[in-house]
Each structure stands twice: as structure tokens, then as C-alpha cells.
Structure 1
Amino acid sequence: MTITKTDLGQHNSPEFLNNHPGGANVILRYAGKDATDGFNSVHSPDVLEDLPETSLRGQIDVAELGSCKEANESSDKTSKTRTSGPPHLSTLINLHDFQEVAQQYLPANAWAYYFSGADDEVSKRENAHAYQKVALRPRILKKVPNVDTKASILGHSVSLPVYMSPVGIAKLAHPDGECALASAAGKEGLVQVLANGASMPIERVMQSRVSSEQPLFFQLYVNKDIKKSVEVVKRAEKAGAQAIWITVDSPVVGKREMDERLNVTVVPNDSNAQGQGVAKVMASSISPYIDWEILTWLRNLTNLPVVIKGIQCVEDAVLAYQNGVQGIVLSNHGGRSQDTHSAQSPLLTLLEIRKFAPHLIHSSMQIFIDGGIRRGTDVLKAIALGATAVGLGRPFLFSMSAGYGENGVRRMVEILRQEIEANMVFLGATSLSELRPEMVNASRLERNLIGCVKL
């Protein structure tokens, strides 16, 4: 059946409207218009297979597309003007270079969603500044013919103590989205944690791995409708995910003003959508009502290893250990949830653990950390202070932008690998196991530790 623009305009209340993960307003914004570009920027075509049969009313008349596209283009406020193509990958020599390119080439809405932090973005900045307050203490005349950067994450061997943090809607950065990340992870020997809000279905991401042995972990946000979370976990397990990383640091969504301000600019006449940035819309289904009992629920649902993502103080790290999880992620959500110094940097939380609960560092529970890591030296500082591995999120998204895709991701990993290897030589360490707390001077950061913790 062929339908016209008029027919399409009348189809403004699909059955799945209120169940759409991105909210109803995202769909209604395109009512009567060609939503192809908007759909393709965040979705894989595979998701159409999950829609009710009644949602497909027919094929749009091609002759109608011209007027639809004109309407879209006239209201598009997110494009950026550029005079030349992106720089050659070989000219990018650090992770900051990728961020600068991403700012120039990502659509404005994508940049705002990826880059924004909560409120005044103090926590976001402090995540990175914390590493700058820690100095390395190099040792001289240590014969280091080569270095071994291999590590083990939840029993899986990786070539670097680095993993891909869960990052939502990666397709905004590149059409291949999370699939490009999976392919690059396999070729570089890294682990990818697939976001609950990924733009590609997990089955397709699994197919993008370089081998069936390549591990992939799955991030879980607990849905207000717990049945949906049951379905998500079961689907991830069936697809082959090898661990569940349950994110608990965002019971409500942080006020990411850059993201929200752009949305108000884009849809000034949509009173229901004003102030609802991409992040807030994406997270509207997350349950704020879960407690430690959610771990019992999860264990009854799956036998996969469980990692809690979002530990922000030593007390909760101890509780996580007592609850028998296989790993924790020290994280304040990249400064995207709570702002100001009250949401301390993850590296400071690691120092809390070292001081008040050092037994956790030597336990079977692995300690991961993310937020603000941009240099190989940052990685080594975290490992020396007791972390198992570090996660990066935004840098992987930025590395895919400007059309770089998988090649950009691999170039970024290459840079990070070179920095890690070179600085291990400076420290006189031939392997990660030789990294010790005395190889760093964290006194400037330790001043921010609280005086006493009752455990």
C-alpha cells in the first residue's frame, strides 16, 4: 500500500508511542515529516522488526519525500558549517586532538549529549584534575628491554588495562556505532561494555566481533517496569554477553544544561519537549527505587558475573564486597549526574579505599575506575593505586567522529598504548603487576580525604 504525506500526517498516534524509550515527543516531533535522517542517526534498521505489525501503514510515495525533506531542513538547527575535511588520522597525536575534531564535526545535538556534564560541570572537570594532582615517581637505571601491558578483566585476557565504558547512542558519532567499537575492541584486544541505550541491537554488535571468543559485557539500567529489565537481561545472556554491569549512580538524571538548552532551541514551539535534552529523555524509564536487594533479583535471573557501576565512597565499596559482586566501578557517571565537589572524583574514592578498606584491593573483587582519563599516565596512576583496569567513554565516541569510525578508534588505542608503554619504561616496570603505590605521589589529592570513616 502506498501512502502520501497527508496519510502520514494523520498517523500521529502509533501504538508504541508511550513505550518509546526516547519518549513520545521525539516521535511526535517528526509527525507529518520524513523522519529517515532522525531515525538513522540513532537506530539500527533491526529495531523495525520489533515494532507491532500495525505500525507499518505502507510505503511512502517517493514524490512526497521532497516536500517532507524541505520541511525538515528548514527546521534543522543542529548542522555545523565546515570548510574542509577532517585531518588525517596520522596527524592526531593525543586524545585531546580527537575531542577537538569531534567538536567541529559532530552534529550539535550529538556534541551536547556526549560532552555535557551536570550543572556547572565542576565534577566533570575535577575527574580529570584529580589525575593532574598525582605525580609519577620515575626510577632510573632500571633495565627494561620490553614491557607487558596485558591484564585480566573478569577472567578475560586483554592487551591493555583499558576497557570501553558503556556509551549510549554511539551511532550519533558514526553510522556503524557500537559495531565499530566491537570490531576495534577485538582487533586491539580490549573489552567492550555495551550500553543499555545502545543504538545497535546486541545481536548485531556480537556479530561485529572479530572472533566468537571476544568478550562483551552488558550494562543494565533497571527499568521502572521490572519486566522489561528481565527481558533485557535474558536477551543479553542469550546473545552471549559474559557479564552484567548494573549502573546505579543515576537514580535521577543530572541537569545537563548544554544538552537541555540545545533542545529548547531546536523545538521552541513544543512546550512538552522544552528542557528535555537527549539524556533526560533517554533516561526517563530508569527506576529510582532500587536498593541492595536488586542484586538478589539479578542473581536469581542470571548466573553471569555482576559488576556494580557507580560506587562513589568507600562505604558502598565495602557493601558491594559484602554482597559478593565480582567487580565495582568507581564512577560519578563522568560528572553527568551530580555536580559540585560533593560528587568526588573516582580517583579520590580509590584513595579512600586504600586508606580505610585496603583489603578490598587485595580481594577477589576487581576494582575498575572511569572518568577523566585522557593519558597513558592517568592509566598507570590508577593501576599503581590499586585499580584493575580503567574505562574510557567519551574518547571512544570522539574517535569515531568525522567519519573515522573503526580506524579512528584503533588510532586512539594506539596512542594510548604508546603512552602506557613509554611511561612504564620511565617507571622501571616491565609488567602491570610491578606497579606499586610508591611509584606515585598522591599527597596533593590525599589532602581531600575525609578524616574518619565508620565501616
Structure 2
Amino acid sequence: MTDTPARHRLPPEIASLADHELHARQQLDDNAWAYFSGGAGDEITLRANRSAWDALPLWPRVLRPLAGGHTRVQLLGRTLAHPILLAPVAFQRLAHPDGELAMAYAAAALGAGVVLSTQASVSLEAVAEAVHPDPGRGPLWFQLYLQHDRGFTQALVQRAEAAGYEALVLTVDAPTSGVRDRERRAGFRLPPGVGPVNLAGLPPSAPPDLRPGQSALFDGLLHQAPTWDDVAWLQSITRLPVLLKGVLHPADARQAVAAGAAGLIVSNHGGRTLDTAPATATALPRVVQAVGGAVPVLVDGGIRRGTDVLKAMALGASAVLVGRPAVWGLANAGAAGVAHVLRLLRDELEVAMALTGCATLADATPALLDAAEDPALRSGR
């Protein structure tokens, strides 16, 4: 795809994140569309991520004082203007020539946090340089896949520290890729000029020496899969807080807290790894209960409306991350498109708060989703 001035202008008919998705399909070729939009297997989890948020009703309270309300939250020692961050998405230059730079500029302008993928198609240093001068920007975190070469991984962590990233987000739910039929049907490949630039210089891994009857996965690739010991090792080589992304099971959440994780991200990789894994809206309250407030819990997967953000906060999330919608905005209009996606979510969140009687996000309690949980029912108010 070649860039044209039109790709920096937002079509006036786009009024929602769903509109962004429909329009982005016209901008992306089949190769890029299969990569960004597809899920694993029969895409049951991909669809469930969306439908689970839809299934949660909001029980509004009326006539409450709302003047002076706000969307601010606290996260890892910082005050954020709102609880919306951009999830790590690889190879964003597949969607627009400006790629991760456009994503970062938009996030900084809208006060959103950015989690940069290890497999970004723009260098981590360039992204950091783009956003650091903006005083209103949100947090800048680096998502990490542990590489087979520990020396290279340590050097990558040191680069992130030197560039000014404020936390590491270790993805723990993808020891291998999911079965992605859409990508296979499309014959997905990276076009020339797009690749994981931050992994340049990574020594190749030695091919497994397999005996007859052995599995290339279990007897090969998975010998390099991260374990809890690797989490401890990562914490030992960095001064940055380490969050674990991809936690769904409450037992894993408790073990992560015991291991010293600074936070958890409830995620099923956007439905791209294990199909039929639970929707993140289903897993979120279980993880929140398991950690008991010991660390912040964030969530991604299927968030498409400001009402979804409010529901996540009512379920106990400290913040949310959005991935695909930001990519659709990027494909449609570069940085302006991403900024529009963030603005829509922020505006819709404020409207949802006003219409449910929430002056601040501290008012978004479980009672917002289940009237039986409201203490007012027991007190008679």
C-alpha cells in the first residue's frame, strides 16, 4: 500500500469504532486484514470477547450530583486522565506507513498509555523519542516476548530502560502461536520493509535435534517457552516493574502476585491463541477477586464502546487496553484516526458515567452491573 493525503483524512461517516472497522476493511489488503482481524481456530473466543461485554447490563442510578466529575485514575504511581491504554500490536506498518509512530503520537495527544510490542515495526527508541516531550502523555510501557537468547533479551530490556520506558509487560499466554486459519488461508507474509526491527541481531536458534516420533513442538520449540523461573530472572535484571499479560486463571493470578508481579493484564491475546478460552469479561472478576487488591488488574479484549470501559471498571479493572480498534483508526487516517478512536471511547465513557450516576470511576462498583449488589437496597435508600 502507498500512502496518499487521503489516508490522513478521516471520512465524515465514521461515528463509532464499528464504523472504523468497516472502513478499515476497505483500506487493508487481504494479507493485512487476515493478520489483524483474525483469531484462532473457529474464532469462538474472538466473538465471545465482544458478546461478553454486551451481555452485562448497566443498572443506572438517577438524580445523583455529577458536576465536577472526571475520568482520572491512579495506576502504578501515576495519575492518568482516563483509564484507556493502547495494547501492544505487532507490525503496525502493515496498516499505515507511519505505524507505531502514528499510534504513539495519537496516544500522547489524547493522554492514553502506550504498550509497544516487541515485534513493533518501528524502533523502540524512535517511539520513545516521539512521545517523551509531551507533558500530557500517558505511561509508556514495553511489551516483552522472552527470546531464546537470554543475552539478547537482557540487552533488549536495557534498551527499553535507557529509552525511558516505565514498565515491562511480559506476555505469558503464547508459548506457541495459535491455529490461525484466516492467516493460513491468506498465505500471510510480511511485505518488504515491514518486520520486527527491535529483534535485529537476534542470533538464530539452533534447530531441534529430533528423534523419530518426537514432536517438533513439545521436544523442540517448547524447550524455550518461559516459566515462572524466567519471570524471576527477568525481575532480577531490571529496575522496571514487570506486569504479566495473558493471565486468565485465578490460581495463576495468585501465583503472579506471590512472584512479585507489579500488575496483571487479563487477556486471551484477542482470541488469537487458545480458542474457546473464556472471554476476558468473564475472567476479569475472578482474577480481581483472586488478587484481592494486591496489584492493579487491567483487561483487554473486545472493548468497543465507552460502556464497555465502564463495565470493566465496575468489575474491578484499574484500566483497559484496546488493540484492534486503534489499528482500524490507524488504517483509516494514521495518527488522526487513532486519536479519533481514543476520543470516541473517552467521550462515550463520560456519557456512560453521567447516565449511570457515576461522577468518578470510583463510583463504578459491582452494583452498577447487578442491582442486588447495591448497598442501598439493604439500607432502604
Length-normalised TM-score, structure 2: 0.84
| Residues 1:347 and 1:266: Cα distance change in structure 2 (over 3 Å) | closer
1:377 — aligned with what?
307
| Residues 1:185 and 1:361: Cα distance change in structure 2 (over 3 Å) | farther
Whole-Å separation in 2 of the counterparts to 1:414 and 1:323:
37
1:165-215 per-position Cα deviation (integer Å, ceiling 9, x unaligned): 001011111111111111111111111000000000011111211626543
User: Does 2:346 match 1:412?
Assistant: no
Q: Which runs of 5+ in 2 are unaligned?
A: 206-220, 373-381
User: Equivalent residues in 2 for 1:338-357 (5 A)?
Assistant: 338-340=274-276, 343-354=277-288, 357=290
The amino acid of 1:435's aligned partner reads A
User: Equivalent residues in 2 for 1:276-291 (5 A)?
Assistant: 288-291=224-227
1:441 — aligned with what?
370
Kindly state the Cα deviation for residue 147 of structure 1 after the two structures are TM-superposed: 2.5
1:430 to 332, 353, 359: 359
Is the 1:183–1:210 Cα contact (8 Å) retained in structure 2? no
Length-normalised TM-score, structure 1: 0.71
Is the 2:8–2:334 Cα contact (8 Å) retained in structure 1? no
| Residues 1:203 and 1:231: Cα distance change in structure 2 (over 3 Å) | same
1:333-354 per-position Cα deviation (integer Å, ceiling 9, x unaligned): 00000102xx111111122235
1:401 — aligned with what?
331
Whole-Å separation in 2 of the counterparts to 1:316 and 1:411:
36
Kindly state the Cα deviation for residue 381 of structure 1 after the two structures are TM-superposed: 0.5
The amino acid of 2:129's aligned partner reads Q
| Secondary structure of the corresponding residue to residue 160 of structure 2 | helix
Size of the aligned set, in residue pairs, is 343
2:151 to 213, 217, 227: 227
Is the 2:266–2:298 Cα contact (8 Å) retained in structure 1? yes
Whole-Å separation in 2 of the counterparts to 1:222 and 1:429:
41
Is the 2:248–2:287 Cα contact (8 Å) retained in structure 1? no
User: Equivalent residues in 2 for 1:33-112 (5 A)?
Assistant: 88-112=10-34
The amino acid of 1:413's aligned partner reads L
1:63-118 per-position Cα deviation (integer Å, ceiling 9, x unaligned): xxxxxxxxxxxxxxxxxxxxx98984442111011101111111221111100100
User: Equivalent residues in 2 for 1:56-455 (5 A)?
Assistant: 88-209=10-131, 211=133, 214=137, 215-263=139-187, 288-340=224-276, 343-354=277-288, 357=290, 360-363=291-294, 365-402=295-332, 404-441=333-370
Q: CA RMSD in A?
A: 2.6
| Residues 1:97 and 1:146: Cα distance change in structure 2 (over 3 Å) | farther
Is the 1:144–1:425 Cα contact (8 Å) retained in structure 2? yes
Greater shift, 389-398 or 142-151, is seen at 142-151
Which protein has greater RCO, CA pairs closer than 8 Å, 6+ apart? Answer: 2
| Secondary structure of the corresponding residue to residue 401 of structure 1 | helix
| Residues 1:249 and 1:140: Cα distance change in structure 2 (over 3 Å) | same
Whole-Å separation in 2 of the counterparts to 1:422 and 1:103:
28
| Residues 1:361 and 1:147: Cα distance change in structure 2 (over 3 Å) | farther
Q: Percent identity, aligned pairs only?
A: 37
| Residues 1:325 and 1:89: Cα distance change in structure 2 (over 3 Å) | same
2:377 — aligned with what?
none
